[in-house]
Amino acid sequence: MKIAVVGATGLVGTEILKVLAERNFPVTELIPVASERSVGKTVDFRGKAYPVHGVQEAIKAKPAIAIFSAGGTTSLALAPLFAEVGTTVIDNSSAWRMSPLHKLIVPEINVHVLTKADKIIANPNCSTIQMVVALYPLHQKYRLKRIVVSTYQSVTGTGKAAVDQLMNERKGIPGTNVYPHPIDLNLIPQIDVFLDNGYTKEEMKMVNETRKILGDDRVQVTATTVRIPVVGGHSEAVNAEFHEEFDLDAVYDLLRQAPGVVVEDDVKASRYPMPLYAQGRDEVFVGRIRRDETQPKTLNLWVVADNLRKGAATNAVQIAVCLVKRGLV
């Protein structure tokens, strides 16, 4: 099976290669793809160096699956070209997520909606993925009414240049800044650009993507997204109101049984999810599970995941695994 990874030299692309190897994905031919300036470089996969190819060469190879992590503009231009030659594209950018013609997939929730006709499949935003993985088993039983979420997102969500800015500031070294303010010893309550309604694009992604993944436009979502000086791992304080009353013990049981979820919740031992310990892991970690004592049918959760793994690379590879298992490629 020929597999192309478009954006193979970036942070997410590198993680995609790692996850493909870790999961023993049946790759018979790997085609790493990057911009022209990276053509001729090599990437490592299963202990072997593979040369980076240009886009046209990759399209001519007609891979079965192309996993994209190259930005929205690139995806809009190139994903249809791969699809035209029969390749199934799994795209990590925001380009196709809200298109009514394309599926937005989190395997633990809605992979069953995919068909052979779906040649461009959207991977959700990292902060949306971890939240819906945690909330979906509860939504199935108690029906979500409203979500209030505040995120604490690491600099790897912006890319390598953001990691460099944080490290340069920490060492007192001048360099190019990708944020409008210092990030070391600081928090920036802005992720992506501000929209006319006063929310950022990232905040509205969480609103719209959550509804699409759950298949329910009635779920109310409001978000505040914040960039923090952490290298890897996004954290979220989630306040979820349900239509039905819940039993707290039953909530714990549902989360412990949920695919892709790990409950870490022992406050007496100071045990709760933290981004430092989520790095390199594929699971979504949930803790600080407690009732909101100000109103009924409402739960507080603390949700943490590695944004480069489950928030991007792992989710994309899981989709690819499902495509193969279901004979859709």
Catalytic residue annotation: 126, 234
Rounded CA-CA distance 182/174 in Å is 12
Strand partners, 237: 150, 302
β pairing state of 120-122 and 88-91? parallel
Strand partners, 235: 152, 304
| C-alpha torsion angle, residues 314, 318, 320, 322 (rounded to 10) | 180
Rounded CA-CA distance 234/304 in Å is 6
Strand partners, 32: 5
Rounded CA-CA distance 329/323 in Å is 6
Residues 6+ apart with CB under 8 A from 261: 133, 134, 137, 255, 283, 284, 285, 286
Rounded CA-CA distance 245/229 in Å is 38
